[in-house]
Amino acid sequence: MVDWRTDEMPEDGTVIYRRIIQPYRFLPYKPNSEEAKRGKRGRWQVMDEAGGWDNCGEPLGTEWTAENPFKTAEG
């Protein structure tokens, strides 16, 4: 299991991996919209620096670790 940390990140050339924590929301399309008529339920949005919302892809899970979170138990 990966030990996700929140202390200061190293500045010595160590490769680190980050988990990003950021506000997202799923905004449904209005029933009479073209997207809804095509069968789309809604879209993901991410909060911008000013508190507004920008459309984005589906969110993926800022914590960081020096451990490779993609490394399997076998190596």
Residues sharing a CB contact under 8 Å with residue 27, sequence separation 6 or more, in sequence order: 42, 43, 44, 45, 53
The one-letter code for the residue type at 12 is D
Domain extent, residue 52, equals 23-61
Q: Distance between CA atoms of 62 and 42, rounded to whole angstroms? A: 26
Residue 10 placed within a domain: no
Domain count for the chain, please give it. Answer: 1
Q: Distance between CA atoms of 21 and 34, rounded to whole angstroms? A: 32
Residue 39 placed within a domain: yes
Residue 29 placed within a domain: yes
Residue (of 11, 74, 22, 14) closest to 48 by Cα position: 22
∠ Cα 59 42 36 (to 5°): 155
| pLDDT value at residue 70 | 72
Residue 32 banded pLDDT, cuts 50, 70, 90 = very high
35-75 pLDDT, tens per residue? 999 999 999 999 999 999 999 988 765 566 777 777 766 65
Residue 74 placed within a domain: no
Taking the whole predicted model, whether its pTM rises above 0.85 is answered as no
Whether residue 31 is predicted with pLDDT greater than 90 in this model: the reply is yes
